[in-house]
């Protein structure tokens, strides 16, 4: 399905949500499939979470907002809707 990609590198992709909960709602995920966070290898985990500060700053600046939420749903009970972290 086509998406508006806002960031991409060899391990990750960030795209605008097609059903946004709010302005700037961005989905950020690893390209490699891991159903939940504990399965992510340490190097990919550090790379992924290291990108969150610059990515959130870019979304915040682009949306001309003063604050931002980062929501992590790890597992169905936590609200994860797709088996891909």
**What does the DSSP 8-state code read for residue 10?**
S
Check: CB of residue 19 under 8 Å from CB of residue 7: no
pLDDT in tens, 20-77: 888 888 989 999 999 888 899 999 999 999 999 999 999 889 888 888 888 878 777 8
Residue 37: the pLDDT is 87
Spatial distance between the Cα atoms of 65 and 22, rounded to a whole number of angstroms: 12
Overall pTM > 0.85: no
Identify the pLDDT of residue 31.
Answer: 95
pLDDT of residue 48: 95
Say how many residues make up the chain. 85
* pLDDT of the residue at 19: 87
């Amino acid at each position: 399905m086509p998406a508006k990609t806002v960031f991409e590198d060899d391990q990750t992709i960030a795209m605008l949500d097609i059903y946004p909960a709010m302005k700037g709602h961005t989905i950020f995920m690893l390209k490699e499939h891991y159903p939940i966070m504990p399965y992510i290898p340490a190097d990919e985990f550090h790379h992924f979470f290291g990108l969150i500060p610059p990515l959130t700053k870019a979304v915040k600046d682009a949306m001309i907002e003063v604050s931002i939420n980062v929501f992590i749903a790890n597992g169905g009970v936590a609200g994860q809707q797709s088996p891909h972290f």
